[in-house]
Structure 1
Amino acid sequence: MTTSGATDSRVWFITGASRGLGRAFTEAALAAGDRVVGAARDVTPLDDLVEQHPDRVLALSLDVTDRAAVFDVVGKAVQHFGRLDIVVNNAGALFAGMIEEFTEAQARAQLELNFFGALWVNQAVMPQLRTQRSGHVVQISSIGALGGFPSTGLYSASKFALEGMSEALAAEAAQFGVRVTIVQPGGYWTDLYTSSTATTPNPVYDPLREELAKQWAEGSIDSEPRLAAEAVLKLVDSDNPPLRLLLGSMVYDLAFDISKQRMDTWAGWEDVSRAAEKAVPAPN
Structure 2
Amino acid sequence: MTSTDSSTDASADRVWFITGASRGLGRAFTEAALQAGDRAVAVARTTEDLAPLSAEYGARLLVLGTDVTDRAAVRQTVDTAARHFGRLDIVVNNAGFLAMGMLEEFGEEQARAQMETNFFGALWVSQAVLPWLRAQGSGHIVQVSSIAALGGFASTGMYSASKFALEGMSEALAAEAAPFGVKVTIVQPGGYWTGLYTAGLTATEPLDAYAPLRAELEKRFAEESVDSMPALAAEALMKLVDSDDPPLRLLLGSRVYDLAFDVSRERMTTWAAWEETSRAAEQAVPAPEGHGL
TM range (shorter): over 0.9
Q: Shift of the alpha carbon at 1:7? A: 2.5
Q: Letter of the 2:130 partner, please give it.
A: M
> What is residue 199 of structure 1 aligned with on the other side?
204
Q: How many residues of Structure 1 are paired with residues of Structure 2 in the alignment?
A: 284
In structure 2, what is the Cα distance between the partners aligned to 1:238 and 1:281? 48
Matched, 1:53 2:62: no
- Deviations along 1:37-75, whole A, 9 cap, x unmatched? 000001111111111111100000000000000000001
In structure 1, what is the Cα distance between the partners aligned to 2:286 and 2:92? 48
In structure 2, what is the Cα distance between the partners aligned to 1:90 and 1:7? 27
8 Å CA contact 1:146–1:255 kept in 2: the answer is yes
> What is residue 258 of structure 2 aligned with on the other side?
253
Matched, 1:143 2:147: yes
SS of structure 1 residue aligned to 2:59 = coil
Structure 1 residue ranges without an equivalent (≥5): none
SS of structure 1 residue aligned to 2:58 = coil
Q: Letter of the 1:283 partner, please give it.
A: P
Matched, 1:153 2:153: no
Matched, 1:213 2:230: no
8 Å CA contact 1:97–1:199 kept in 2: the answer is yes
In structure 2, what is the Cα distance between the partners aligned to 1:271 and 1:79? 57
8 Å CA contact 2:12–2:37 kept in 1: the answer is no
- Deviations along 1:125-146, whole A, 9 cap, x unmatched? 0000000000000000000000
Please, what TM-score do these two structures have when normalized by structure 1?
0.99
Q: Letter of the 1:25 partner, please give it.
A: F
SS of structure 2 residue aligned to 1:114 = helix
> What is residue 47 of structure 2 aligned with on the other side?
43
SS of structure 2 residue aligned to 1:53 = helix
8 Å CA contact 1:5–1:35 kept in 2: the answer is no
> What is residue 112 of structure 1 aligned with on the other side?
116
> What is residue 239 of structure 2 aligned with on the other side?
234
Matches within 5 A, 1:70-89: 70-89=74-93
Q: Letter of the 1:123 partner, please give it.
A: Q
Q: Letter of the 1:178 partner, please give it.
A: V
In structure 2, what is the Cα distance between the partners aligned to 1:134 and 1:187? 31
In structure 2, what is the Cα distance between the partners aligned to 1:141 and 1:106? 20
> What is residue 93 of structure 1 aligned with on the other side?
97
Q: Percent identity?
A: 70
Please, what TM-score do these two structures have when normalized by structure 2?
0.96
Matched, 1:177 2:181: yes
Q: CA RMSD in A?
A: 0.7
> What is residue 171 of structure 2 aligned with on the other side?
167
Q: Shift of the alpha carbon at 1:5? A: 3.5
SS of structure 2 residue aligned to 1:55 = helix
- Deviations along 1:150-207, whole A, 9 cap, x unmatched? 0000000000000000000000000000000000000000110112110000010000
Q: Shift of the alpha carbon at 1:8? A: 3.9
> What is residue 25 of structure 1 aligned with on the other side?
29
> What is residue 274 of structure 2 aligned with on the other side?
269
Q: Shift of the alpha carbon at 1:109? A: 0.3
8 Å CA contact 2:88–2:139 kept in 1: the answer is yes
Structure 2 residue ranges without an equivalent (≥5): none
Match for residue 280 of structure 1 among 267, 275, 285? 285
In structure 1, what is the Cα distance between the partners aligned to 2:11 and 2:20? 25
Bigger shift: 186-195 or 121-130? 186-195
8 Å CA contact 2:101–2:203 kept in 1: the answer is yes
SS of structure 2 residue aligned to 1:191 = coil
Q: Letter of the 1:217 partner, please give it.
A: A
